[in-house]
Amino acid sequence: MKPAILHVDMDAFFAAVEQRDHPELKGLPVIVGGSVEGRGVVSTASYEARKFGVHSAMPMAEAHRRCPNGIYLPVNMKKYRAVSHQIMEIFQRFTPEVEAISLDEAFLDVTGSQRLFGPAEEIGRELKRLIAAELHLTASVGLSYNKFLAKLASDLDKPDGFYRILPEELEAKVWPLSIRRMMGVGSKTAQLLEQMGVTTIGQLARMDTGLLEHLLGKQGVLMHQVANGVDERKVEPVRESKSVGRETTFPQDIRQQYLLETILFTLTDEVCHTLRSNGLKGKTVSIKIRYPDFHSITRAITLERYTASFEPVFAAVQQLMARNYKDGTAVRLIGITVSNLKPDGQIVEQQNLFGDTAMVEKQEELNRVLDRINGKYGGDTVHRARKITEREKTGELSAE
């Protein structure tokens, strides 16, 4: 059977949820994001706000300049997560093959569901109908025979759209589009190609693979494939969360290593606490540093064993900082993520060769005690000994 892949993308998700819950905001430019003072960014702008040129990831200060009369709301992640669960639950009625790629976006492989629920097109339209009827929100759905094209399709008829790309329609529907619509094509790559006169997906599809590989490496080869309608990636249901992370944008750039590490100290504590309260342990620790020019780097270390303990994670963070940060360099945002996660119960560790098991157990016991106390007294009662300066959390996620 030919693959049938749906990509469902909620329209202006965070803003739409707010407009639904506050009907007086319907028809108004609603912007959900961080604060101006905290140098936050826009998470989602309603379609009314987009008319003013406001879009996600734009600094809030710029949004205020473009849309001074907008309705500015903070990110209510707890609420959006709850709605996201409801959306994902609707998807699950049609297939277990659901790959959520953010709170408001998912791929569904409905190839096998068609026997039960009818053609993929009907399933796609039924999803939209259920989301509207039960959640009073709109979604745009793309249907095609691979992930790349399904995602492209959902974007071609937004908002509240339904768009299908059949194999025989590739040349007519996809090739005339700009290469900038391709997943994973950043503006640098796009500029490079445009300088060579390659502006459409069709032109890219007809380029010489060898030349593309020479120019862009492996990415060039992949781009050539997807431009020709070939994308072998499977829809991969994510049964566990893949990572836990926290990041912070500073009101003013910070350039002192000790300050950055103090902030990372607290972020690490929060991340480890989240891991433990979800019964998870992780093996890969990464830091993210964003510079004032918005350029970011991410660097990771993989640990010897799975952990949710503060000490080994923070030791990795310090190592990453020592290797990748030079004291005095201005930093705009810093973050830490633990990934490569497993549920605590599923981890079978090899006996540690150096016999530091006792130490590990001690750390775990300390964490359990701290978690118990914090749980009992409603959080944040006991902290490890270090305080940090005021900071502002920005929305980690954005939603179109």
DSSP3 helix / strand / coil % (the chain, rounded to 5):
40, 20, 35
Q: Which 380-399 positions form the footprint of Mg ion (CB under 5 A)?
A: 399
| Active-site pick, 18, 99, 105, 400 | 105
CA 185 to chain centroid, in Å, comes to: 17
Show the binding pattern over residues 107-136: x = contacts Mg ion (CB under 5 A), - = does not: ------------------------------
The smaller minimum CB distance to Mg ion, of residues 63 and 334, is found at 63
State how far the alpha carbon of 53 is from the alpha carbons of 59, 65, 383, in Å: 12, 10, 43
Q: Partners of 71 in the beta sheet?
A: 30
- Work out whether 42 is an interface residue with Mg ion (CB under 5 A): no
- Work out whether 32 is an interface residue with Mg ion (CB under 5 A): no
CB of 12 to Mg ion, least distance (A): 7
Q: Which 250-289 positions form the footprint of Mg ion (CB under 5 A)?
A: none
Angstrom distance (rounded) from CA 187 to CA 178: 12
- Work out whether 43 is an interface residue with Mg ion (CB under 5 A): no
> In the annotation, is 48 catalytic?
no
Angstrom distance (rounded) from CA 140 to CA 61: 29
- Work out whether 99 is an interface residue with Mg ion (CB under 5 A): no
Angstrom distance (rounded) from CA 42 to CA 62: 9
Contacts of 31 (CB under 8 A, 6+ apart): 15, 42, 44, 45, 46, 49, 54, 60, 63, 67, 70, 71, 72, 73
Q: Which of residues 5, 9, 39, 261 is near Mg ion by CB under 5 A?
A: 9
Q: Which of residues 109, 231, 269, 400 is near Mg ion by CB under 5 A?
A: 400
- Work out whether 100 is an interface residue with Mg ion (CB under 5 A): no
Number of residues that bind Mg ion (CB under 5 A): 6
Contacting range for Mg ion; rule: CB under 5 A; set: 8-16, 29-37, 81-89, 151-159:
8-16
Contacting range for Mg ion; rule: CB under 5 A; set: 99-107, 110-118, 126-134, 324-332:
99-107
Q: Which of residues 6, 10, 30, 31 is near Mg ion by CB under 5 A?
A: 10
Q: Partners of 307 in the beta sheet?
A: 282
Q: Which 134-163 positions form the footprint of Mg ion (CB under 5 A)?
A: none
Give the pair of three-digit tokens for residue 343: 């549920």
Q: Counting every residue, how long is the chain? A: 400
Contacts of 331 (CB under 8 A, 6+ apart): 250, 253, 254, 255, 260, 289, 290, 291, 292, 325
Residue type, 224: H
Contacting range for Mg ion; rule: CB under 5 A; set: 28-36, 80-88, 102-110, 248-256:
102-110
Contacting range for Mg ion; rule: CB under 5 A; set: 96-104, 155-163, 168-176, 263-271:
96-104
- Work out whether 313 is an interface residue with Mg ion (CB under 5 A): no
The smaller minimum CB distance to Mg ion, of residues 107 and 265, is found at 107
Question: What are the catalytic residues?
Answer: 105
Residues within the interface to Mg ion (CB under 5 A): 9-10, 13, 104, 399-400
